[in-house]
Amino acid sequence: MKDGHIELDGNIPHLGIEVDESALAKIRGDGMNEKRVKVAVLGLGIMGSGMAGQLIAKGFDVAVWNRDRAKAQPLGHAGARIAASPAKAADGADFVVAMVADDDASRRVWLSEEGAFAGMRAGAIAVDCSTLSVEWVHTLSAAAAERGIDFIDAPVTGTKPQAAAGTLRFFAGGDPAVLAKSEGLFLAMGTELIRLGPVGNGAMLKLINNFLCGVQVASLAEALVMIERCGLDVQQAVGALAAGAPGSPLVKMLAGRMLARDYRPNFVPALMAKDLRYASVAFAEQGIALATADAARARFEAVAADFPDADMAAVIEPIRAIRGPSR
């Protein structure tokens, strides 16, 4: 093991590539004038802070807002304008990007009295990169349309390292012309804009993605506790699993973190529990009961109560705490 990762014969594919330095010029070429493109970023947690940092580095005129203003200070020092409300951040912006925790936070940041829609001009583009319910995304898109604002739902794949490095991938739903106009914005924060069709499709694929990830992580935690208890050589057993069919990039990364008890947060368990809850609702509407998601969600809810600020890898700890049978 090295730095909390299992060392294997094969390398995990590197996700980072050089971001196209012409991202800003591309947006201008799609209809913007030669002024600096103005972007407001709402929500400066683990993900939003990295995304805002990339936009500043790429030459965008960035305004930021966060409920806890102290989290905005480093970006202010880097050149962002710190706004007192989402509406003030959005005032005059060409694009407004939100990255918040859930439907309730999204509702507040866009639709409250001082929400972003109150400050946006008609013709501006609203982008929500949060992991949200499909139902809320459709409601939010309709609210934007009533105000003459274009809307894209574009949740991301990747966590803290990818946000900081500008190597996120975006699952985007929206009008093709609006997506084309916005491509340079996305490529300033990531490496790929995956166009999935109309609004709501981005949210749907993200919930499917996180359903698969959440079940994998909970299953991995249970498997590792079994390996620790049953007398197998832990390093040998985990290495064998990681090199075989179960060895997804997620398993390879989190197995090392679980064994090293490295729970510095990239993605907190409460958010995974929320994503699994939203996924269960979306699947149920299509007649599919997510029994595995419900079981995994119980694991993440348990760890969120005791380790609220830890990484989701800490899902293993409540399982470790369950005493095995006496021998």
Is 206 among the catalytic positions?
A: yes
What is the model's pTM? 0.90
Over residues 13-52, the pLDDT tens digits come to 222 323 344 566 666 555 454 479 999 999 999 999 999 9
Over residues 267-325, the pLDDT tens digits come to 999 999 999 999 999 999 999 999 999 999 999 999 999 999 999 999 999 999 998 77
Task: Assess if residue 2 is contained within a domain.
Answer: no
Domain final residue, candidates 147, 170, 197: 197
Query: Is the four-CA dihedral 69, 71, 77, 83 of positive or negative sign?
Result: negative
Task: Assess if residue 220 is contained within a domain.
Answer: yes
Task: Assess if residue 8 is contained within a domain.
Answer: no
Q: Are residues 145 and 221 in the same domain?
A: no
Residue 66 half-sphere exposure toward CB, CA atoms < 13 A? 23
Q: Are residues 30 and 149 in the same domain?
A: yes
Q: Are residues 147 and 253 in the same domain?
A: no
156 pairs with which residues across the strands? 170
Q: Are residues 215 and 295 in the same domain?
A: yes
Average pLDDT for the chain:
91
CA angle 297, 168, 33 (to 5 degrees): 135
Q: Are residues 122 and 48 in the same domain?
A: yes
Neighbours of 5 (CB within 10 A): 18
What pLDDT score was predicted for residue 18? Answer: 35
Q: Are residues 261 and 152 in the same domain?
A: no
Domain extent at residue 60? 23-197
The single residue of 26, 38, 206, 252 carrying the catalytic annotation is 206
Domain final residue, candidates 197, 215, 235: 197
110 in Cβ contact with 120 (< 8 Å): no
258 in Cβ contact with 224 (< 8 Å): yes
Q: Are residues 183 and 262 in the same domain?
A: no
148 in Cβ contact with 123 (< 8 Å): yes
Domain count within the chain: 2
Cα–Cα dist 47/271, whole Å: 12
Angle in degrees, 0-180, between the axes of helices 134-146 and 201-230, rounded to the nearest 10: 150
Q: Are residues 150 and 297 in the same domain?
A: no
Higher-confidence position of 196 and 1: 196
Buried b (16+ CB within 10 A) or exposed e, 214-226: bbbbbbbbebbbe
What CATH number corresponds to the domain at position 67?
Answer: 3.40.50.720
Q: Are residues 190 and 216 in the same domain?
A: no
Residue 230 φ then ψ, to 5°: -90, 0
Q: Are residues 136 and 81 in the same domain?
A: yes
Over residues 46-98, the pLDDT tens digits come to 999 999 999 999 999 999 999 999 999 999 999 999 999 999 999 999 999 99
Domain final residue, candidates 141, 164, 197: 197
